Amino acid sequence: MKTHKVTLGLLLMNLFIAFLGIGLVIPVLPTLMNELGITGTTVGYLTAAFAISQLIVSPFAGKAADQFGRKIMIVIGLFIFGISEFLFGIGKGIEMLFVSRVLGGISAAFIMPAVTAFIADITNLDTRPKALGYMAAAISTGFIIGPGIGGFLAEFGTRIPFFFAGALGTIAAILSILLLSEPNRGEDHNEQVPDGKMGFKRIIDPKYFLAFILIFIASFGLAAFESFFSLFADHKFQFKPSDIAIVITGGAIFGAVSQVLLFDWLTKIWGEIKLIRYSLILSAVLVFLMTVVHSYFSILLVTFLVFVGFDIFRPAVTSYLSNIAGNEQGFVGGMNSMFTSLANISGPIIGGILFDIDINYPYYFATVILSLGIVITLFWKKQTSDSSNEVKTRAAN
């Protein structure tokens, strides 16, 4: 049990570090815009470069995690992550920054599916939701707290946050080599052998496809919200990097704590599908409210609460997918990462174009997309009820 806790803790730390690096760039974007003379559209492309490489590599990385093992994919991913962060720290031109973001996306594609599959291997149907809740908390906290840490460290130098993240990634890779052992594939995976369709054809199966679409929608909303929050706050409220850091760090902590305390309990009350629907409703309302608030306190309150919606959504959909994936944990993790990447590509690009037109437009568009997700959940319940009941029956047996 002690070894199990150490393993889970190390896996969560790896995810936290990887997604911390994604968010570190956000508070320094206004400074980079001034230094390099770039527009919001270019910032969107820079943010999307990470997601494009993650999108391309994720399906192959998910299959590789099933074929070659979880540990080696995690270790390689962490070393690539360290290199990407050091390159961002030393980069003086926009070209080097793009190279850094591409390598960062590759590292995330290696790490995320492998960790998801690793956690599925060392848990069962009863303990998996809580473990995946912790996993989602690590991802969300890293991604959301990254701008906060970046903002504080940027006070000592614009590139300091990236050297810090690069060092953390390298240390995490070494610890993973020393402390992680390749897991045994659990018996639960053998109970749920998938039917005839294999590989990418599985994506169009309704029990997978609608979940993947919702991952895209929620990730799009988060990407549109967070990618331009620092620019939005800078242009509309004249926030300094330290102000942005305080707001986002506070939101990250509040969201993560709410997730850990509430997710397991809410899942038992509503089940994953209803919980996903309510999370999307909360997120859509609060993303829209961001365009109408004016006082510092109201901005703080809306930001704190919006992350609760996003933080609850992620473990709910991951838990649902893990429970129906059977022996395709790596594949499902890769698809999860791929659809997240699609959103992280389109969100910043569309948001950047809209931001140059009007600073409120990215949030309006994100609200519409999240509302579409709410509508989809109404149909998703009907299409997946049989699958959900089957999973619950297996869990009971």
Q: In this structure, what are the phi and psi dihedrals at residue 238, rounded to the nearest 5 degrees?
A: 55, 40
- Predicted pLDDT at 201: 67
- What is the longest distance spanned by two Cα atoms in the chain? 62
Residue 63: closest CA among 204, 211, 199 = 199
Tokens standing for residue 179: 């402390």
Residue 381: which pLDDT band, with cuts at 50, 70 and 90?
A: low
Residue 98 is which amino acid?
Answer: F
Radius of gyration of the chain (CA): 20
31 vs 293, which has greater pLDDT?
A: 293
State the Cα torsion 236-241-247-250 to the nearest 10°.
170
Instruction: Average the pLDDT over 245-249 and give the result.
Output: 74
Instruction: Average the pLDDT over 58-83 and give the result.
Output: 87
Tens-digit pLDDT profile for residues 102-140 = 998 899 889 888 888 888 788 776 777 677 767 766 776
Tens-digit pLDDT profile for residues 10-21 = 888 888 887 777
Q: Structure pTM?
A: 0.66
Do residues 363 and 291 lie in contact, with contact meaning Cβ atoms separated by under 8 Å? yes
The residue to which tokens 């690069």 are assigned: 166
Tokens standing for residue 299: 């901005």
Q: ∠ at Cα 396 (392, 397), nearest 5°?
A: 120
Cα 10 to Cα 394: distance, rounded to the nearest angstrom: 30
Return the exposure string of 83-119: e unless at least 16 CB atoms fall within 10 Å of the residue's CB, then b. bbbbbbbebeebeebbbbbbbbbbbbbbbbbbbbbbb
Helices (H) and strands (E) in the chain, counts: 14, 0
Cα 177 to Cα 14: distance, rounded to the nearest angstrom: 12
State whether CATH 1.20.1250.20 applies to domain 2-180+199-379.
yes
Cα 323 to Cα 128: distance, rounded to the nearest angstrom: 8
- pLDDT exceeds cutoff 90 at 76: yes
Residue 59: closest CA among 340, 324, 331 = 331
- Predicted pLDDT at 265: 85
- pLDDT exceeds cutoff 80 at 307: no
Average pLDDT, the chain: 77
Q: How much of the chain exceeds pLDDT 90, in percent?
A: 6
Tokens standing for residue 332: 């499902």
Tokens standing for residue 122: 């060392």
Residues in CB range of 307: below 8 A, 6 or more apart: 140, 144, 251, 252, 254, 255
Terminus-to-terminus CA distance in the chain, angstroms? 24
Do residues 245 and 144 lie in contact, with contact meaning Cβ atoms separated by under 8 Å? no
Domains of the chain, by residue range, sit at 2-180+199-379
Query: Chain-centre distance of CA 166, in angstroms?
Result: 19
